[in-house]
Structure 1
Amino acid sequence: MKDRHKIVSAAAWSIGAGLAGRAVGLLGTLLIARHLSPDIVAEVTVATIIALTGNWIGAWGCGQYVMVRGGEGREAIFTASVFYLLAGSLVIAATWWATPWLADWLQAPNLAAYLPGALLGIGIRRLGAIPDKLLARELRFGRIAMATALGDVAYATVAVTLVSTTNLGGRAMILGFIAQSCVIAGITITGTGWRSWLAPARLRWARVRDIIRFGAPITGEITLAEGGRYWDKPLMLRLVGAHDAGAYGMAFNLAQLPAVYVGGHIGTVMVPAIVRAEPAARAPLIVNALVVAAVLLCPMGAGLAMVAPTLVAALLPPTWALVAPLLGVLAFMLLLGPGSYILSSFLTSLGRNAILMWIEVATMAVLLAAFAVLARWGVMAAAFAVGVAMLVQWLLTVQACHRDGVRLGRLWSPLSRVALACVAMALAVWGARALIAGQVPASAQLLLEVATGVLAYPVALGVFGGGLLGNLLQSAGLGRLPLLGRWLRG
């Protein structure tokens, strides 16, 4: 019971801090977009994604190994840490060497100006990766969330300041990325100390072989899972050009706020929660997590889609107008992603790494094929490839979990109620827009539309939800408040 309360509290802090930090990061990105064209932002984004890809490949599941096998002693942690640092150094060097070829293939002539700095940022961030997993193993998600949030703040502060006061252009974003990496690594390392993971111990070949066997399927699964979130941007750059790719990337960054930065935190917290739970309690725990995710994420996705035109008109210059329709599509397309991530945490806790890897292989194949076909009709059509891939991933993950006892029949009733509440919220926002459109500045209209959605959704959920809102607040410890408790009971 103590672990359960600790996990729930950690989840709340993690989600809250993550959202706050990401909100600052997104605000910074929007401010940067006021000074840079979509073409420049697209090439900087692609350089960062290439660096991140090398980081995923070079991780080789060492962080997960520390979480799962760290209890076997200092020798296991030290060996995994050394393996991780050496593999990362090799991948960073190989990526730097391949920069001219990558720039030519992606038709990004300025890539060489950005990629070295992105690789430096990744190298710094890797120093804090093993401490991050040690903190997660100890359920210290508050410090992890603080590192992420303050890292986002550092990125926004440095990048916005430089892009608005200097002629650095896209390099300002790279320097912001380096600052972000320094903050994240510094906070996680000081949270554990160097000796917790780099205190020398005897290196055994048997342990190295165990890490290689353990990490192979995880590397494939994580690389493809993260690639599914990011590789569409380089592909878009090659298929539709830098301008449209930049608009698509901006829309994707906005759309993934609920899908990744709420659902992702829930999924991250679920891994240690499931590992600590009794086997019989794991499947119900997953189903409850999916209900909570739906209650939180569906209105955020629907709300983003509804306010997209007003948001873009209020916050971005006319050169970014294409972001509005793309955001309307992607906000819905990405909603299935968190559900798949939460189900994947269940499979991870059971050691089903090979199954997860093949699910990601299939998802990535579908994504690339859909992009290649749909891009012929432009960037708007290509955006629907994300939804096709998300649906395939969800269906395959559900089927894999079904074999291990997870039954999702209980989800239909709460999901239908959440959907009705989202429809009611969307109608309220649409009505508010119809009443005030053209009468107030776009920024004021945006605030009014958001406020309408924020007020309308909990009311609609109270009408259609049948206790879902009360259960969610009770799990967060808010249902104990006398007035709130009486209201929830009707």
Structure 2
Amino acid sequence: MNDHRKIFSGAALGIIGGLSGRAVGLIGTLLIARHLTPDIVAEVTVATVIALTGNWIAAWGCGQYVVVRGGEGREAIFAASMVYLLAGIAMIAVLWWATPTLAQWLQAPRVADYLPGALLGIGIRRLGAIPDKLLARELRFGRIALGTALGDVAYAVVAVSLVSMTTLGGQAMIIAFIVQSCVIAGATITATRLRDWLLPVKVSAARLRDILRFGAPITGEIVLSEGARYWDKPLMFRLVGAHDAGSYGMAFNLAQLPAVYVGGHIGAVMVPAVTRAPPQERPALMVRALTFAALLLFPMSAGLAICAPTLVAALLPPTWWQVAPLLSVLAIAALPGTGSFILSAFLAAHSRNQWLMWIEVATMATLVSSLWLLSKGGVLLASGAIGVAALVQWLLTVRACRADGLRLRGLVAPCLRIALACALMSVAVLAWRWATQAHLAIGWRLAGEVLVGVVVYGGAMWGVGRDLVGDALAGLGMSRRRHLEDRVREGESTP
């Protein structure tokens, strides 16, 4: 198998493994919520986010250094491994020492009980991080995907078992996190040789300086981008309290499903596609990709928003009732962020990395300030900060793309037609709920709402946007034909 086939095969395995793991994780999260209250889940989440933040900072791009510079010899790999492991030990020691202060600032005493276990899990996971990058260098993506999927399954099984059969409470989630880390690290460590990254060799001062220079910009970008996904949880905890923050965290996880399952994979595919396309074809390619994403994301987000009360009543106990209105807000608020992620492929293709960094800075500043201001009106109003930050990110990203000729005027008319179909779908779902709420059990009502939504949206798009659906299908077919044509041309040019 040549390198290209290995890459594509590995990407497919990664997507399948990622989707499978997320599906299992979601089911596990919902089952865990049936045994724990929102405040406990919020405290565990905050402890985990603190540990993850330390991990991002202490990574210092060493994993990327192994991928990029590993071909320079064992000195490069060993030096990066040592910097990574020593920085991890220092990070764990500092956070362990600061645990009481962090818990006091967050006004969450039980976070001090959960953080040591979360740090242990992060420490175990760091042991397998460099082997993970060695596997990536060798294009052994299947082993990486397998380890991640098995880790997600292990977390769900252990956490659900412990919360349902013991009185460990939130510690059950921490133990499951440690087990998950052991499985993921074990999968990568056992697939590599220790001597490839841990056998000592002499390291020059120049090599260490090179690692420090290489890691600085990568660390800033990773901390900001990952922080934008996770830091709202501890901020919300500090501003509105544990119970409301726990409900918010659950609603956020559910609201992100369209972005994760659809937008994330479209964005991942767009990066190489846009990079390979000629510059004059890239704007049309982006408009087409965004239209295709809107066809899928708009109804998924609108469906989550409109079905939220029935969904939450069917799947979660009464203590989680607040998830329903929060989910209705967050499902719509998350949409612009997904579009920005897809557009970032266009900026990356034109080497606008500085723009991407400053957009992340502006988005994070908007999120923090909006959360602080809106939290004075309660958790539901505060959840709107996600929409404010996502809208700012979208506007800045669109503006940055204009410098390289991307105009999105052609996106307005298709999105209006898709939005009309979503509005008709929402009216039909509400009518179904009103007609059946006194006659059907909650599970049947939920199944009916989903079915009605799918049928009405499909019918509405057939009426007002048949050409959009046809163009999306033709685009997929065109990609296949182009691939075959490329294969033919390659064959004709081969002597």
- TM-score bracket relative to the smaller structure: 0.7 to 0.9
Deviation at 1:195, TM superposition (A): 5.8
The amino acid of 1:258's aligned partner reads P
Of 343-352 and 425-434, more deviation after overlay is shown by: 343-352
Aligned residue in 2 for 1:241: 241
**Residues 235-291 of structure 1 deviation map (CA, whole Å, 9 limit, x = unaligned):** 111111111111111111111122234433443455555666666666665555434
Trace 1:197-276 onto structure 2 (pairs within 5 A).
203-271=203-271
Q: For the structure 1 residues 35 and 62, does the alpha-carbon distance in structure 2 shift closer, same or farther, using more than 3 Å as the test?
A: same
Aligned residue in 1 for 2:493: none
Q: For the structure 1 residues 274 and 246, does the alpha-carbon distance in structure 2 shift closer, same or farther, using more than 3 Å as the test?
A: same
Deviation at 1:150, TM superposition (A): 3.0
The amino acid of 1:247's aligned partner reads S
Q: What is the aligned length?
A: 479
Q: For the structure 1 residues 106 and 282, does the alpha-carbon distance in structure 2 shift closer, same or farther, using more than 3 Å as the test?
A: same
Trace 1:156-235 onto structure 2 (pairs within 5 A).
156-190=156-190, 194=194, 203-235=203-235
User: Is the 1:12–1:476 Cα contact (8 Å) retained in structure 2?
Assistant: no
Provide the C-alpha distance between the structure 2 equivalents of 1:144 and 1:455, rounded to a whole number of angstroms.
Answer: 38
**Residues 161-203 of structure 1 deviation map (CA, whole Å, 9 limit, x = unaligned):** 0000001000001111122222333334455655665566653
Q: For the structure 1 residues 381 and 201, does the alpha-carbon distance in structure 2 shift closer, same or farther, using more than 3 Å as the test?
A: same
Name the SS of the counterpart of 1:237 in structure 2.
helix
Aligned residue in 2 for 1:387: 387
Aligned residue in 2 for 1:485: none
Deviation at 1:381, TM superposition (A): 0.7
Provide the C-alpha distance between the structure 1 equivalents of 2:225 and 2:388, rounded to a whole number of angstroms.
Answer: 15
Provide the C-alpha distance between the structure 2 equivalents of 1:304 and 1:261, rounded to a whole number of angstroms.
Answer: 14
Q: Which runs of 5+ in 2 are unaligned?
A: 481-495
The amino acid of 1:435's aligned partner reads A
Provide the C-alpha distance between the structure 1 equivalents of 2:274 and 2:200, rounded to a whole number of angstroms.
Answer: 31
Provide the C-alpha distance between the structure 2 equivalents of 1:276 and 1:194, rounded to a whole number of angstroms.
Answer: 37
Aligned residue in 1 for 2:62: 62
Name the SS of the counterpart of 1:98 in structure 2.
helix
Provide the C-alpha distance between the structure 2 equivalents of 1:407 and 1:226, rounded to a whole number of angstroms.
Answer: 28
Provide the C-alpha distance between the structure 1 equivalents of 2:152 and 2:384, rounded to a whole number of angstroms.
Answer: 29
**Residues 37-91 of structure 1 deviation map (CA, whole Å, 9 limit, x = unaligned):** 1111111110011111111111223334444555555554444343333322222
Q: For the structure 1 residues 142 and 217, does the alpha-carbon distance in structure 2 shift closer, same or farther, using more than 3 Å as the test?
A: same
Deviation at 1:29, TM superposition (A): 1.1
Aligned residue in 1 for 2:363: 363
Q: For the structure 1 residues 394 and 208, does the alpha-carbon distance in structure 2 shift closer, same or farther, using more than 3 Å as the test?
A: farther
Aligned residue in 1 for 2:418: 418
Q: For the structure 1 residues 386 and 82, does the alpha-carbon distance in structure 2 shift closer, same or farther, using more than 3 Å as the test?
A: same
Provide the C-alpha distance between the structure 2 equivalents of 1:80 and 1:193, rounded to a whole number of angstroms.
Answer: 16
Aligned residue in 2 for 1:486: none
Q: For the structure 1 residues 296 and 308, does the alpha-carbon distance in structure 2 shift closer, same or farther, using more than 3 Å as the test?
A: same
Of 4-13 and 103-112, more deviation after overlay is shown by: 4-13
Name the SS of the counterpart of 2:383 in structure 1.
helix
**Residues 194-246 of structure 1 deviation map (CA, whole Å, 9 limit, x = unaligned):** 56655666534334333333332222222122212211111111111111111
Provide the C-alpha distance between the structure 2 equivalents of 1:72 and 1:416, rounded to a whole number of angstroms.
Answer: 53
Aligned residue in 1 for 2:80: 80
Q: For the structure 1 residues 102 and 261, does the alpha-carbon distance in structure 2 shift closer, same or farther, using more than 3 Å as the test?
A: farther
Residue 323, structure 1, aligned to residue 327, structure 2: no
Aligned residue in 2 for 1:399: 399
The amino acid of 2:167's aligned partner reads N
Residue 434, structure 1, aligned to residue 422, structure 2: no
Which structure's CA Rg is the greater one? 2
Q: For the structure 1 residues 463 and 161, does the alpha-carbon distance in structure 2 shift closer, same or farther, using more than 3 Å as the test?
A: same
Residue 102, structure 1, aligned to residue 102, structure 2: yes
Q: For the structure 1 residues 434 and 133, does the alpha-carbon distance in structure 2 shift closer, same or farther, using more than 3 Å as the test?
A: farther
Q: For the structure 1 residues 416 and 96, does the alpha-carbon distance in structure 2 shift closer, same or farther, using more than 3 Å as the test?
A: same
Aligned residue in 2 for 1:487: none
Provide the C-alpha distance between the structure 2 equivalents of 1:318 and 1:269, rounded to a whole number of angstroms.
Answer: 40
The amino acid of 1:318's aligned partner reads P
Structure 1 vs Structure 2: percent identity of aligned residues? Answer: 67
**Residues 413-451 of structure 1 deviation map (CA, whole Å, 9 limit, x = unaligned):** 443343333333323322332332222211221122223
Aligned residue in 1 for 2:486: none
Aligned residue in 2 for 1:37: 37
Aligned residue in 2 for 1:488: none
Deviation at 1:151, TM superposition (A): 2.4
Q: For the structure 1 residues 135 and 71, does the alpha-carbon distance in structure 2 shift closer, same or farther, using more than 3 Å as the test?
A: same
Provide the C-alpha distance between the structure 2 equivalents of 1:475 and 1:70, rounded to a whole number of angstroms.
Answer: 39
User: Is the 1:429–1:452 Cα contact (8 Å) retained in structure 2?
Assistant: yes
Of 439-448 and 141-150, more deviation after overlay is shown by: 141-150
Q: For the structure 1 residues 360 and 16, does the alpha-carbon distance in structure 2 shift closer, same or farther, using more than 3 Å as the test?
A: same
With the length of structure 2 as denominator, give the TM-score of the two structures: 0.85
Aligned residue in 1 for 2:51: 51
Provide the C-alpha distance between the structure 1 equivalents of 2:160 and 2:225, rounded to a whole number of angstroms.
Answer: 30
CA RMSD of aligned residues (A): 3.2
Provide the C-alpha distance between the structure 2 equivalents of 1:425 and 1:9, rounded to a whole number of angstroms.
Answer: 37
Provide the C-alpha distance between the structure 2 equivalents of 1:247 and 1:300, rounded to a whole number of angstroms.
Answer: 21
Aligned residue in 2 for 1:372: 372
